[in-house]
Every structure is written in structure tokens, then in C-alpha cells.
Structure 1
Amino acid sequence: MKTIQGGITAAKGYSAYGAHVGIKRKRNDLALIVSEVPALYSGTFTTNVVKAAPVIWNMEIYKHKYPVKAIVVNSGNANACTGDQGDIDNERMATTVAECLGIEKSNVIVGSTGVIGVELPIEKIVKGIEDNIGHVKPSYEAGLLAAEAICTTDTFTKEVAVEIEISGKTVTIGGMAKGSGMIHPNMATMLSYVTTDVAISFDMLDQAVKDSVEDAYNMISVDGDTSTNDMCTVIANGMAGNDMIVEEHEDYLTFKKALDYVNKTLAKLIVKDGEGASKFIEVNIYGTRSKKEAQALAMSVVTSNLVKTAFFGNDANWGRVLCAMGYSGVKFDAKKVTLNYESSAGTIDLMVNGVPQKFDEDRAFDIIKEKEVTVNAFLEEGTSKGTAWGCDLSYEYVKINGEYRT
């Protein structure tokens, strides 16, 4: 696997563009992605009972396994909690793209992100689609414009691309994502778009996507809020020309490993851009009865506001970590837990086999003050492990969200 420059346009047959159409004051707010040929579509969607209009639209496309030729995304407005008008506006976005490209509206994926409960400025969006869809290009720069256009409170664009070899052909996977606040997917707001030219059956693509999302986007948390608009979208157009992947053999595993890398990279970039965050936190849990238990423990830790604030204050208050593990719902023997903190400044043991360790507070401070900190917890319940990613919670987070609409 080789990491390459690029994102959503890296794979064969994909063009994109991003433009400012007036939803937001200044920044790009409309993204367009087009595949030369129909692509298979798999995705995951928010578990929030309150689902935005584009989520419901895309779930129908996924349910019927309609091929996808285009994706349109607006930022600055979530089109959530907007009643029947929201559904009408969402369909109009898809219809406009379809008419411009000469395809069916069921071939168009729609995404929205931004303020909830406000109707879309649909006339601006329709005109924006009509004015800009002719500008889509397969260039890196065009893909970057699209990545910028899906951002809201994000402070940087998030994209990644890799190349792999399958049956003698070069296969590319590229992606872009947005997310900074409201990040607590079960499948954060989190939108992720991945394009690939791999030739693969729907069943194998769907399996790969579901498994990958579980270990990537479902293992991150910024603030514990699950958005109405969360989506991970993966489309595969088969233009790499590799032998069709139809079962779990070596080619599938090669593809899945690369897809995992792309999704985990995007997931971690989302956390690193957590609203007001100053610190990226990785939590590794070892020695559980199952991966699911390890992941539940890790997520409980990264979601804890007390853990987050302790890290913001560079305070080695490790009792909060153990407390968060304790209310995760996973049973374990606390008297057999070993716990340490780790960063580029070193490692410090805090508990060994259930016994608190005397440690140098100044050294602990130096380790925790780094931008990236790892929490390692070792249990003696089994041989499974799991990882989650989160960030600290700062004064700036409150400021950003307190002023979001003002």
C-alpha cells in the first residue's frame, strides 16, 4: 500500500468541484462529485432517531442498491428538522444534478451539514449546481475545493488517498471528510466520502464498509453528541479493471486493509480537529474477552468529560480513566488492571496490577502536555484489544458552540 497525494478525485473516473453559492458568508459551501460510470454504493447512517432529509434519501438509494453517478453536498445548513419542505428541497437538489448530467435522480447521493431547523436556501443551491457542475474536473485541486466546501467549523480540510495492487492492476482509494463538533457517531457532524475504482461485488463492498466503519468512525468522540446528519458514503466504479472481488480471498483482504487505513486516517483527522481541542487522545485497551468489550471500554474513556478536562489541564488524574472504564458496562477485575500514559516525551506507569504507583507529577505533566497522548490499559480477562480516539475539552469548545448561530 502506498499513500499518494489526493483525495476524492484520486481514483480513476472521478471528477469534483467546490464553490461558494451563498449559504455561508464567504467559504465554499457546495461540493459536487461525479463518476464517469455508474458506481456501486454502500454507506452507513446516523443512529439518531431524528434523521436529516438527505440521510433518509440516501438510505432509500442504499436499500434499493441503485447505482450512483453523482454526489452533491451543501454546508452551512443541515436540512434537518425542516418538515416536508426539507424532503422537497433535498429531492430538488438531486433532481437538479440529475437533469444537468442526464441521469436519474435515484443515481444522486445528497449530503447536508450545518445549522439544524432552518430551511435550505434552495434557489441559491439549485443555481449553484447549474452554474458549477460543468466545472467538475479530475484534478487534485478540484477535489480539494470539494473537500473545503463540506466544512463547517472545521479548521482544516481532511483528505487521504492510497494505491494498492490487486490482480496486477493499480487500485486507488481516496476520501474526504468533515467533522469537528457533534462527533460521537455510532455511525460526528461527521460526513465521510470515499471513492474507489476497485471492481468488487456489492456484498463484498458492503461487508468491507460496515466492518471498516465499526473500527474507524464509530470509535471516535469529540463531544458525545450524535448528529442528525452523520453519513459515511463509499462508491466503487470498477474502472481499475482488476479481477472482480466476489469473496473473502487475498484480494478482498488487501482492499479491506487499504479501506481501513483511509477511514481510520479520516476519523483521526476529525478528532484532531475537534472544536477547541488542544490534544489528541488515543485509548488502547488490551486483554478483554472480545474486541467489542475492548472498544466499549475505550469509548467510555474518550467520551468522559472528566477525562477530557483532566487532559486539557495536563493533570495525571488517572482515577478518572478507571472510573470511566468502570461504568462502561464491561465487567473486569480492577485489581488486575495496569495503566500507563504515553507520549513522545516518554511513558509513565500509574497503576500496576491494581496497585497505584508513586510517580513524579512533573514528569507526568511533561508527558501529558504533548499534543498527542496515549492511554494504555491492560486487563487480564482475555486476549482481545480495541482502540478509540478522542480529544480534550477546552474553554474554546464552549465559546465556539455558544456562538455557533451568532
Structure 2
Amino acid sequence: MQVTGESSIKVSTFQWPAGFYADAGHAGLKETADDLGWLVSKVPAAAAGVYTTNQFQAAPTTLTKQTINSDHQLQAMVMNSGNANSCTGVQGTHDAMAMQQAAADKLGIDPMMVGVASTGVIGEQLPLDKIVSGIAQLGLTKHDGVTKAVLTTDTHAKTITVQCLIDNQKVTITGFCKGSGMIHPNMATMLGFVTTDAKIAGDQLQALLSQTVNQTFNQITVDGDTSTNDMVVTMANGQAGNQALTPTHEDYPTFVKAFKLVLSHLAKEIAADGEGASKLVEVNVTGAYNDLEGQQVAKAIVGSNLVKAMIFGADANWGRVMQAIGQTTAHLDVAGVSVAINGIQMVQNSLATDYDEAAVTKSLAEKVVTIDVDLNAGSAIGTAWGCDLTYKYVQINASYRS
């Protein structure tokens, strides 16, 4: 990597940033697959988090929020799948803290430097003996097993590594996440973890994470349901050797762009892997009154069950898109809206164009469907991602516990 600035941003093969380690193993929460893992920095790292808005926030989510908010520092995240430790009362809180303590003891660090994340079935007590025994077996490796240990109904691990130059030092940003159903932020049934060896203060990292999540993870929807355990946590350990990043740093825009690339990729991976999904749907809104309304309209379209069913059935029914737009409170020109699907103009000035329906139907059968909407009410934009609604979604969720 010889170039500087935003042109230095490159997607790389998966690797952990300098000073980060991980491991995973089978603790027995699932029948066979790995279900426990951790991320560890060799030094304390700046940390930031964003969490579910569901009122029934799970014990590990609450604990991690309290831990990070204390001083925006972490050195490790320990996580499990197969059990959400949610709606588990006082015992659930004690178990989350015991999980935190077990990881801290194994690593020889303060428990307030350990975050906890859980995902799986709600309402069942955590099998703490299995968790503690599993943590005792974890080591410090460079493999990617933890990216699979957090999966539930996901069909594959979702990962990305991006590198860029900051102060002529190579900075690595690596993220992974899980999420497939119960996806409708803020947040969703998802866990996201982003590690970087860049140097940046915790409060600055928190501001960046909150802003970027609003543009990425909070713009995906699969089924309109918000889970109890969701969070995105970022750790930055400064091992790349750059000067501390602030908004006045010359290379700060480069880092911001690289960071957003990581979160955008992971958000789209979740949308594409929606339970039972066969297609990724992207909605791009232009001509919005402001960015907030642009995002609102984009998410309303991608979240509409009628639109999702239309896309699954490859039905060129643009009226589904119009009704979704009209249900919002966003400013729009009711006589000036346009809609295109995969580049085929279907609506102009709120009236049907002379489009080729067979061409649209064929286009809707593609793996990625892009809907472009112009509200003709301003100059702002918005983007959201989702998936189609298939028979398999009902099948998966009708038997989730079995």
C-alpha cells in the first residue's frame, strides 16, 4: 500500500488487526457447532457500543452497555450463541456477570475490561457451568472461529477486513456480525463487532460509531421485529502507531470512509442473509426534504411486506412501492414521484411509464433488486437494505426452538 488518503482504502483478506486475538469452542449450548468465543486485545482498547432499543434488554447487553459507558475502554469481548440470557431475571444478571468474571480471571484482567454478548433462545437460564468450563478452554489465536461461534439461523459467517493508511501507517479494520431474523433496528437481532489497531479516543470512537450505525445497521430490516440482545461494539487498541484520530486530523476522513465501508458491508450481509431470503433488496431515495426523511422512506419501502412479497414473486407491481412511500410522513411531490427497478423506469411524475413488464419481471428474478425513488421534494438522500419475504421465513420461525 503506497498511496495515501482515501485512495489507500482497500478490502483485504480476513485478518485481525495488530494486537488482537480470538478463539472459539464448543461449550455444549448447541449440539455440535462452536457456541462460545472471545475477542482479546493485548492492551486496553478504546471502546464504543450501540444497543437495542427493545425495552426487554437482555442481561449481557445491559452489562456491556454499563461496562463500556464507565470509561469507554475494553480489553475483551466474550460471547455465546444458543442462549440469549434474556428475560431471565436477577439470575440472568448474575450469570452475565459471572461470564464476565470468568473471562477476566482467565485473562488476568479487571472484569470491567470485559464485555459480554449472548444470542439465541429467549427466556431460558444460561447453563453457567458449561459457559465457565468453555471459557477456561479458550486461548489466544489468530483464527476466525469466533465469527462462526455467534451464528444462530445465519447461513454463513459475515466478515470483512479493510485497510488504509493513516499517518503513513497501515491501519486495519476488521468486522464480523451475526443476524438473519428479527431484524428491524434500532438495533436488530444482531451482534456486530469491529476491531481496529487505529489510535482514537473512546469518546470520539463512540461518536463515530453512533453516526455510522445510523447510516448502516439502522437502515436494514428483514421482518419488522427488534430483538432483546442486539449490539454493535467497536474496539480500537492503537497498535498501528498512528497519531490519535480526531476530526481535525488530516487522515480522519480516510478512516471514517474505511470504517463506514466495514459497517455498510456487514449491514448488507445481514439483509442478504435474512431468514429464508432469496434476494437482497436495496432502496435508494433521492429528492428528499432532508436526510432523515430520505432514510425514513427508504426503510419504509424495504420493510413493507407487500413490497417484499412482490419481489419474492417477481411481480412488477409498482403500486406496492407507491403505497409504502405514501404511508410515511415525509415531504413529497404527490404529482412528481418517480420509481425505477433495476434501472427500468416504471413511474414518472407519479404515473406509469410505457415500460416492458416482461423485462421488469425478469429483472426481479435477479439476486439483487435495486429500487430507485425520487421524491422531488429536496436534495437529500437515503438508502436502506432488506430482503424478500419467502415461504421459508415462516417455516424457519414456526420451529425456531426445535
Structure 2 length-normalised TM: 0.96
Q: Does 1:386 align with 2:382?
A: yes
Q: Map 1:268-347 to 2 at 5 A.
A: 268-342=268-342, 347=343
1:29 aligns with 2:25: no
| Equivalent residue, structure 2, for 1:183 | 183
The CA deviation at 1:66 is 4.7
- Does the Cα contact within 8 Å between 2:289 and 2:330 map onto a contact in 1? no
Matched, 1:163 2:169: no
Give the superposition deviation at 1:117: 0.4
How many Å separate the matches in 2 of 1:36 and 1:247?
27
Q: Distance in 2 between matches of 1:223 and 1:249?
A: 40
In the TM superposition, what is the alpha-carbon distance from 1:67 to its structure 2 partner? Answer: 2.1
Consecutive unaligned residues in structure 1, runs of 5 or more? none
Q: Given that residues 66 and 106 in structure 1 are in contact (C-alpha distance below 8 angstroms), is that contact kept between their aligned partners in structure 2?
A: no
Separation (CA, whole Å) in 1 of partners of 2:117 and 2:87 = 15
Alignment of 1:164-313 (within 5 A): 164-313=164-313
2:328 aligned partner, one-letter code = S
Please say if 1:3 is aligned against 2:7: no
The residue aligned with 1:85 is: 91
Deviation at 1:164, TM superposition (A): 0.5
* Unmatched 5+ stretches in structure 2: 1-8
User: Match of 1:41, SS?
Assistant: strand
After TM superposition, give the deviation of residue 136 of structure 1 in Å: 2.1
CA–CA distance in structure 2, aligned partners of residues 317 and 191 of structure 1? 35
Q: What CA deviation, in whole Å up to 9, does each residue of 1:54-79 have, x standing for no partner?
A: 11101111221152111100001111
Structure 1 partner of 2:397: 401
**Per the alignment, in what secondary structure is the counterpart of residue 254 of structure 1?**
helix
| CA distance in structure 1 between the partners assigned to 2:298 and 2:99 by the alignment | 39
Aligned: 1:375 with 2:353: no
User: What is the CA–CA distance in structure 2 between the aligned matches of 1:163 and 1:28, rounded to whole Å?
Assistant: 28
Give the match for residue 360 of structure 1: 356
Shift of 1:196: 0.4
Secondary structure, in 3 states, of the residue corresponding to 1:118? coil
**TM-score (norm. length: structure 1):** 0.95
Distance 1:364 1:394 in 2: 19
2:185·2:220 contact (CA, 8 Å) conserved in 1? yes
C-alpha separation between the residues in 2 aligned to 1:252 and 1:263? 17
Distance 1:64 1:188 in 2: 24
What does residue 148 of structure 1 align with?
148
Is 1:68 matched up with 2:64? no
Take 1:150 and 1:323, find their aligned partners in 2: how far apart are those partners?
37
Q: Give deviations 1:203-243, integer Å, cap 9, x for gaps.
A: 32111111110111000001111110110000000001101
Aligned equivalents of 2:10 and 2:358: distance in 1?
41
How far has the Cα of 1:246 moved from its partner?
Answer: 2.9
Deviations 1:266-317 (A, max 9, x none): 0101111100001100000001111111000000011110110010000011
Classify 1:378/1:162 alpha carbon distance in 2 versus 1 (closer, same or farther; 3 Å).
same
Tell me the equivalent position of 1:45.
51
- Partners of 1:363 and 1:5 in 2: CA distance: 37
Secondary structure, aligned partner of 2:24:
strand
Distance 2:137 2:283 in 1: 46
Give yes or no for contact 1:66–1:107 (8 Å, CA) kept in 2. Answer: no
Task: Give, as a single letter, the amino acid of the residue that structure 2 aligns with 1:165.
Answer: L
Q: Secondary structure at the residue paired with 2:320?
A: helix
Read off the aligned partner of 1:40 and give its amino acid letter.
A
Q: Report whether the alignment pairs 1:121 with 2:117.
A: no
SS at match of 1:16: strand
Count the aligned residue pairs. Answer: 394
Quick one: which of 18, 22, 26 aligns to 1:12? 18
- On the 8 A contact 2:288/2:331 being kept in 1, the answer is no
Paired residue secondary structure (1:115):
coil
**C-alpha distance in 2, partners of 1:205/1:370?**
38
User: For 2:355, what is the secondary structure of its paired residue?
Assistant: coil
CA RMSD of aligned residues (A): 1.0
Q: How many percent of aligned residue pairs carry the same amino acid?
A: 45
CA distance in 1, matches of 2:328, 2:64: 32
The residue matched to 1:328 in structure 2 has which SS?
coil
| CA distance in 1: counterparts of 2:275 and 2:168, whole angstroms | 43
1:2, 1:164 within 8 Å by CA — same for their partners in 2?
A: yes
Instruction: Give the whole-Å Cα distance in 1 for the aligned partners of 2:182 and 2:251.
Output: 36
